Structure 1
């Protein structure tokens, strides 16, 4: 009876014509499916386990609602100021005055960055006392409209934070942690490159809170930018008046008078215009439909993940046993 070693069998297989090698590949593929079929119970168990876990996870997630507002940038620079910026821009720069001639950051971009800044967020949170609603929100009752806070994080009765935290952290979340959470999970600001319109949106488990925060953010950013422009313009006017008193050149005096006139107009516009930076095109409303979680998608992905993991376990187990048997035979 003839016997051959695995190396001789492999050598003979390499000497076979291509059609025989293809037949061997087909046999291996059928064997692979046979292995998967023999491990069908393990695959079914993994798939069922992950499907059930995905269902429970999807059900446990609270509904998230989104409130958004469509905004248009308010153009504060009139034609007269723009023409003066091109005519006297160099002189104004030497005098330390910014006429908004197009250099640097425009007012809208600056307002968006201020809106996302830590200072604005800190003032916003302290003004409306919303840190518990931001960091300890647990659930929202659509019938009563009541927002429940997590008692493990915040005691609503005594208004004291009871969160367990390791030093140097405190029970009350810091402004830095709250700001990061606000930017990453709550606030979103996007600009349509074609129209230039801006969408300001807030996501929260309470649609009422989301709508209120969007309204407050628009109001506050307009007020903050108006105050910044007011202080800057007043400083420019005072500086121009000082420079006017120092010069006796008639041409320079005429330039300073014109600059003071335009800065005064800018100040008057800032005082009179409530929508200083952003004008509301479509105001925020209380959302009736959630935006997430997508529970059906979570269940489908969980089931697929369980099935793939089950197949991997079956194949790993099969090849491990085959490798072990091959090693024992060689020994």
Structure 2
């Protein structure tokens, strides 16, 4: 007896494109409402964001070629005397850039100029009154003090928090073709952006100059000590030349106001805002709403197709 096996007809689980397009057309109001809602929400959010202003300065390395040449000529004599001349082979500009971003330097800078409160507690800038608008949940402008949290601890930020916040507003870039350096600082206040950046450039020049002067003075003291210990005329001549070089370094450092960075284009208070990009925020919100509405309609089609398939299977089983 021959048995004929009948393969049951499997329901077609693939969605028809026509059905999919029909579902999107039927849900056009859902898509429109969700997209418009996201656009309105994005617009409200963007309008609540405070304006940000960016001040920038163009710098050139203030290198002393004459001093570098003399240092090179005396490097051999210094090695004979067992002394290492200050300056070495390290690029002062590179060192200054790293120091400018260092935690120690920025921590001292923020404390010295007392900008911790506007840096961390300001939520806006009142251009009409020319004053900061502080977050009342963090700082009390009336009492001039940081508030306390639920545990009674001060909300004053740590030095590391201040440094991180300042780094986020500071950018340093170098043009590899000509060696020019651009330093930019962003703030809620255009005046603060320009003023803080000017202070920063003045302080880094002063910091590097004071450090080089201190190193040179230490070298002079060491060389004078060695000079008194030797009676060899040749070595005495070497020490005199090295002392002369270090003294020259001290004199040039005291004479140069812009020691490491020469300001080509000084920072000025910007007249146009640098952010936020409100149009871009609204556009992204609209795209997000459209994607969300599309996903909702798609899952509705999937669920509808699944229920239809399940009903067909139940009917086939009966």
Same fold (TM over 0.5): yes
Q: Cα deviations across residues 182-201 of structure 1 (Å, max 9, x unaligned)?
A: 112x1111111111111111
Find the partner of 2:30 among 42, 51, 56.
42
Say yes or no: does 1:204 pair with 2:187: yes
Give the alignment of 1:120-199 within 5 angstroms: 120-162=105-147, 164=149, 170-184=154-168, 186-199=169-182
Structure 2 distance, partners of 1:269, 1:319, is: 78
Summarize deviations over 1:24-56 as a string: whole Å, max 9, x none: x9x933332222112212211210111111000
Structure 2 CA distance for partners of 1:127 and 1:99, relative to 1, 3 Å: closer
Match of 1:5 among 8, 19, 23: 8
Say if 2:96 and 2:204, in contact at 8 Å, map to a contact too: yes
Relative to structure 1, the CA distance from residue 301 to residue 284 in structure 2 (aligned partners, 3 Å threshold; closer, same or farther) is: same
Give unpaired runs (5+ residues) of structure 1.
Answer: 11-24
Q: 1:281 to 1:166 in 2, by over 3 A?
A: farther
Which of the numbers 83, 97, 102 marks the counterpart of 1:117?
Answer: 102
- CA 1:5–1:166 in structure 2 vs 1: closer, same or farther (change >3 Å)? farther
SS of 1:202's partner is: strand
CA distance in 2, matches of 1:244, 1:44: 88
Separation in 2 of the partners of 1:238 and 1:89? 15
Distance 2:313 2:306 in 1: 11
CA shift for structure 1 position 81: 2.2
Counterparts of 2:12 and 2:267, CA distance in 1: 75
Question: How big is the shift at 1:328?
Answer: 4.6
Match of 2:235 in 1: 252
In the TM superposition, what is the alpha-carbon distance from 1:323 to its structure 2 partner? 2.4
Do 1:226 and 1:270's aligned partners in 2 also have CA atoms closer than 8 Å?
yes
Give the stretch that moved more between structures: 303-312 or 155-164.
155-164
Pick closer, same or farther for the CA change 1:222–1:155 going to 2, 3 Å.
same
**Match in the other structure for 1:21:** none
Q: Report the Cα distance in structure 2 between the residues aligned to 1:9 and 1:114, rounded to whole angstroms.
A: 68
CA displacement at 1:60 relative to structure 2:
0.4
Q: Does 1:87 find its partner at 2:87?
A: no
Q: Between Structure 1 and Structure 2, how many residues are aligned?
A: 308
CA deviation map 1:197-241 (0-9, x unaligned): 111111111001111101110111111111111111100111111
Describe the superposition over 1:111-169 as per-residue Cα deviations: whole angstroms up to 9, x where unpaired: 111111122122112211111110011222223322222222111121110153768x7
Equivalent position to 1:296, from 271, 275, 279:
279
Identify the range of structure 1 (207-216 vs 112-121) with the bigger mean alpha-carbon deviation. 112-121
Residues 1:157 and 1:124: Cα distance change in structure 2 (over 3 Å): same
- RMSD (CA atoms): 2.3
1:76 to 61, 64, 85: 64
Equivalence for 1:16 = none
**Does the aligned pair in 2 maintain the 1:85–1:100 contact within 8 Å?**
no
Counterpart position of 2:92: 107
Matched, 1:236 2:224: no
Cα-to-partner distance string for 1:237-294 (whole Å, 9 max, x where unaligned) = 1111122222233322222211111111001011111111111111111111001011
Q: Which stretch shows the higher mean deviation, 141-150 or 218-227?
A: 141-150
Contact residue 69 and residue 201 of structure 1 kept, 8 A: yes
CA distance in 2, matches of 1:79, 1:177: 39
- CA distance in 2 between counterparts of 1:61 and 1:308 reads 24
Determine if contact 2:175/2:181 at 8 Å carries over to the other structure: yes
The separation in 1 between residues aligned to 2:172 and 2:215, in whole angstroms, is 26
Structure 1 residue 72 displacement after superposition: 1.0
Question: Could you tell me which residue of structure 1 aligns to residue 3 of structure 2?
Answer: none
